[in-house]
C-alpha cells in the first residue's frame, strides 16, 4: 500500500428545472446569481475570499471558514465554455491546508420541453484521508471531514 494513496471516483447528478436554458445558464455565468446558490451557504460558514472569472482559462475561487474551525478552499479553473451548452472546469479542494482532491467537473445544460436539464459529471482523484491525518497541527482528518459534512447539513 502506497504511503500516499490516490483513489479515483466518478459520479453524476441530473436535475430538471422549469426555467428555460437561458436562465439556468445565467445562474452559472453571472457571479451575482451564482453567489446566491453555489457552494457553502448558511450560518455555519463565512466566505472570506471569492473570485469569479467566467471564461476559458479564468479562475473561480471560494474560501470558507466553518464554525468547526475547518477551512475549505475551492480553487478552480475554467477549461471549456460553450455558451448555453457546457462548462468544463478543474478544481482543487483543500480542507485546511490539505489538498483533498482534484476534480474534473463537466456541467451540461439542455432544453427539456419548456424547461431545462442540468447534468453534472465529476471525475475526481481523491488523496485518501491519511493526508488529512498528517496535515500539520491538525486533529484527525476523519473528524474534520465529518464536521464539514455535518456543517453542510445545517444551513
CB contact at 8 A, 34 and 141: no
- Nearest-approach distance from CB 57 to other proteins, in angstroms: 24
CB contact at 8 A, 38 and 30: no
Q: Please select the residue that binds other proteins; options are 7, 46, 56, 82, rule is CB under 8 A.
A: 7
| 111 near other proteins (CB under 8 A) | no
Helix (H) or strand (E) holding 99: strand 98-112
- Nearest-approach distance from CB 92 to other proteins, in angstroms: 13
Q: Classify the C-alpha dihedral 112-116-117-123 as positive or negative.
A: positive
Burial class (CB in 10 A: 0-12, 13-18, 19+), 144: buried
Query: How many residues touch other proteins (CB under 8 A)?
Result: 47
| 154 near other proteins (CB under 8 A) | yes
Q: Which residues bind other proteins (CB under 8 A)?
A: 7, 9, 11-19, 23-24, 27, 33, 36-41, 68, 100-101, 103, 118, 120, 122, 124, 126, 128-129, 139-140, 142-143, 145-155
Amino acid at each position: 500500500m502506497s504511503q500516499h494513496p490516490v483513489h479515483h471516483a466518478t459520479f453524476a447528478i441530473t436535475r430538471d428545472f422549469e426555467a428555460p436554458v437561458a436562465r439556468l445558464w445565467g445562474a452559472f455565468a453571472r457571479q451575482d446569481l451564482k453567489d446566491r446558490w453555489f457552494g457553502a451557504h448558511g450560518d455555519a460558514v463565512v466566505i472570506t475570499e471569492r473570485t469569479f472569472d467566467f471564461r476559458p482559462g479564468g479562475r473561480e475561487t471560494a474560501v470558507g471558514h466553518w464554525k468547526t474551525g475547518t477551512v475549505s478552499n475551492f480553487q478552480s479553473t475554467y477549461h471549456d465554455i460553450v455558451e448555453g451548452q457546457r462548462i468544463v472546469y478543474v478544481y482543487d479542494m483543500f480542507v485546511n491546508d490539505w489538498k483533498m482532491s482534484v476534480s474534473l467537473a463537466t456541467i451540461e445544460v439542455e432544453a427539456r420541453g419548456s424547461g431545462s436539464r442540468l447534468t453534472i459529471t465529476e471525475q475526481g482523484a481523491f488523496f485518501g484521508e491519511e493526508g488529512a491525518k498528517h496535515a500539520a497541527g491538525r486533529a484527525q482528518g476523519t473528524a474534520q471531514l465529518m464536521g464539514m459534512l455535518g456543517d453542510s447539513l445545517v444551513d
